[in-house]
Structure 1
Amino acid sequence: MIHPIKLPFYAKLACILVSLISFAYIFCITKDILTPVLLAFLFAVLLLPIFTFLNTKFKFPRHLAAIICVLIFLAFIGGILIFISYQVTNMASDFDTIKKNANSFIIEIHKFIRENFQISIGEQKKYLDTVTKDSVKNGNATLGSAIISISDLLLDSTIIVIYTFLFLIYKEHFKLFLAKLINKENHAALKDILSQIKVSINNYIVSLILEMIIVSVLTSLGLWIIGIKYFILLGLITGILNLVPYIGILVAGVITVLASLTGSGETSVIVGILIVNVIVQLIDNNLLVPLIINSKVEINAFVSIMGIIVGGAAAGISGMFLAIPLLAILKIIFDRIESLEPWGYLMGNHIPRKFAWRIRKAKVQE
């Protein structure tokens, strides 16, 4: 146990709040630098068992073991991207059908609005023409922003791969650095913290992958039942986008609706897609997340949602993805530092054993 300097409550609270604000401010102004580093750290922890196995069992040199781990990771990501690109290429051959069905669907929407809101089709088209003209005026700026975003994505992806490789190589170096920062009597607590962080992050990422697979299978099955042509591709895209909280499933729903136009533009098909997405989300939120995610990361829903919102505001989609593992790391640290135990309890789902023992003891004494 790490024993901090004894301070009055108000002084400790002030120090904690100032530290949190300082860390948040530093992260916001350096998010473009820190986000790839944190993502690489998560991927390195995920690949660490493979790295250790190659390095200890097969006696591979550290550099070679790290290269093999990174290549396995890239092969996995590349395989998914190749499959998606192949399916999208096939879908592009149905562009004329999509266009025809989209026009039919738009006409049905125009009729529905005219019958229920008494707005003529001419007025609706006039409004759409105005919006279209405004979009065309901003087209060049949008195209330029898209090109810059793609360039930044490629650069960040390359940097993440390099950082992941370096994290694997310098794993022991970083451990020794942390050991040198604290006193020897606290090395046992440090070892426990690092061990729990590794287990927690591994469990979380593996759980995310398992959740992605289950959501992909359920969505594909539902889309197959209602007769969607590219049900496997759309199920996989839904599973991947579901990793992005809140926003991902909405984007997946729009993509699925557009893809459904390769077969039919009937409203009943689109309603069926919405029903499938709602059912899968109910299963995901009420069964998969509590059983798979929350059982591995002991953080309550309130703190999780707050963390995701703050992460999204600070660093966009990457911040939302990083929020839960970073909160898990903070909780592990808080639970093992006596003065920060109340904050660890606030973030958790249940009463820690240490606190439960103290409560029972207090009741017995009464």
Structure 2
Amino acid sequence: MLKVFQGWMHRYFSDEEAVVLAVVLALGFAIIISFGGKLAPLLTGLVLAYLLQGLVTQLRRWHVPHALSVWLVFLLFLGALSALLGVVVPLVWRQITNLFNELPRMLVQWQAQLEHLPEQYPALISQGQIERLIGSINGELGQFGQWVLSQSLASLPMLVTILVYLVLVPILVFFFLMDNQKISSWMVSQLPRERRLMTQVWTEMNQQIANYIRGKVVEILIVGAVSYICFAVLKVNYAALLAVVVGLSVLVPYIGATVATIPVALIGLFQWGLGNEFMVLMIVYAVIQALDGNVLVPILFSEAVNLHPVAIIAAILIFGGLWGFWGIFFAIPLATLFKAVLYAWPRGVGAAHEAAPVDHPGTAEQLD
């Protein structure tokens, strides 16, 4: 057994770069898992700056000075943030409040419809089953009401946290954008001089992750905006709230669209019943999902992430369980990173140097 372990270690960790890369990855994951909550504003600012860096780079290609490029992008970011906080959030909050006020009436209506099912389908559903189902649902709603009450009582610390984010995150975004080169150079200076393996992994991952994250943000905005316009034209209740749900559903491939169908269908049923309006709503929703999957996704993600659906779902479950929303958001990039490291990892002494491309002058700077 010891010889097997020694042979495995010699095969995969005999190269110095492999050891350094393993330590860097393990240390990074350990810091995020252990201190992710405390470093959340810093990580949020880093992610937003990473998303905005593409605009700064584009302006630099148009020969706009770096400082002016950063200020233009930062002002655009502040404008989008102000629109989100001043328009979208209040509208969604009002609709959430209205939904909670209407929920008792909707539940009474839904319960009345359930009680008629045994009369319509006596061979399939009994009165006792309906009573047990209603009792179970009432119990779950009672627990949900207690959770909402506890969250409202804890709203003051939450407001303080939101204020901290609103102050710290924009400041961090600005400095990450302004001093991007200095921060990158300092981080690269801490790495060993021989870093062919790291450069190979970073070169492969940087473009894919950047395209994926920016494309996913654009997809959320487009799907959410189109959904809101369609729902508003159809005069669906809680159009903004449903649009947010549909927009965020694109974060979870294969599952999000199915889950988002439930609130859309329920709101439509309570508003119109099984009428023509409900059928039109579901057809429009199906068209939005079809256009997203068959038109928008191929355009935004021209460089497809070559991962098996099982691997994608497993990554969503693992990273979502570890880091919640951000874990789901970055599940596919993290899975792609894991795949890149797995394929680039040296399989013996000198394998990394044989597999890696020839190092040209300036290769080390590719990590910037």
Do these two structures clear the TM 0.5 threshold for a shared fold by scoring above it? yes
TM tier relative to shorter chain: 0.5 to 0.7
Question: Which range is displaced more, 67-76 or 276-285?
Answer: 276-285
**Can you give the 5+ residue segments of structure 1 that lack an aligned partner in the other structure?**
1-6, 345-351, 355-366
Q: Does 1:320 align with 2:319?
A: no
1:119-141 CA-to-partner distances (Å, cap 9, x unmatched) read 26877766666555555566643
1:241 to 248, 252, 256: 248
Where do 1:127-206 residues align within 5 Å? Answer: 140-145=149-154, 148-149=157-158, 151-156=160-165, 158-184=167-193, 186=195, 197-206=205-214
1:310-362 CA-to-partner distances (Å, cap 9, x unmatched) read 1111111111112223344555566666459xxx9xxxxxxx999xxxxxxxx
For the Cα contact (< 8 Å) 1:102–1:265, is it kept in 2? no
Distance in 2 between the 1:313 and 1:277 partners?
Answer: 29
For the Cα contact (< 8 Å) 1:46–1:202, is it kept in 2? yes
Q: Does 1:30 align with 2:40?
A: no
Distance in 2 between the 1:316 and 1:169 partners?
Answer: 29
Q: 1:8 to 1:23 in 2, by over 3 A?
A: farther
Task: Provide the identity percentage.
Answer: 18
Question: Which range is displaced more, 20-29 or 299-308?
Answer: 20-29
Q: Give, as a single letter, the amino acid of the residue that structure 1 aligns with 2:209.
A: I
In structure 2, the residue matched to 1:79 is 83
Q: 1:191 to 1:47 in 2, by over 3 A?
A: farther
Question: Which range is displaced more, 304-313 or 46-55?
Answer: 46-55
Where do 1:67-106 residues align within 5 Å? Answer: 67-85=71-89, 87-88=91-92, 103-106=108-111
Q: Give, as a single letter, the amino acid of the residue that structure 2 aligns with 1:163.
A: L
What number of residue pairs does the alignment pair up? 333
Question: Which range is displaced more, 314-323 or 90-99?
Answer: 90-99
In structure 2, the residue matched to 1:209 is 217
SS across alignment from 2:303: coil
Distance in 1 between the 2:33 and 2:93 partners?
Answer: 39
For the Cα contact (< 8 Å) 1:179–1:190, is it kept in 2? no
Normalising by the residue count of structure 2, what TM-score does the alignment of the two structures yield?
Answer: 0.65
Q: Does 1:311 align with 2:319?
A: yes
Distance in 2 between the 1:72 and 1:276 partners?
Answer: 32
**Aligned-pair distance for 1:162?**
3.0
Return the structure number with greater relative CO, CA threshold 8 A, min gap 6: 2
RMSD: 4.8
**Aligned-pair distance for 1:148?**
4.5
**Aligned-pair distance for 1:80?**
4.3
Q: 1:279 to 1:197 in 2, by over 3 A?
A: same
In structure 2, the residue matched to 1:59 is 65
Question: Which range is displaced more, 315-324 or 121-130?
Answer: 121-130
1:150-175 CA-to-partner distances (Å, cap 9, x unmatched) read 55455445443333222213211222
For the Cα contact (< 8 Å) 1:105–1:266, is it kept in 2? no
Q: Give, as a single letter, the amino acid of the residue that structure 2 aligns with 1:178.
A: M
For the Cα contact (< 8 Å) 1:37–1:163, is it kept in 2? yes
In structure 1, the residue matched to 2:46 is 41
Distance in 2 between the 1:134 and 1:89 partners?
Answer: 22
Distance in 1 between the 2:132 and 2:199 partners?
Answer: 69
Normalising by the residue count of structure 1, what TM-score does the alignment of the two structures yield?
Answer: 0.66
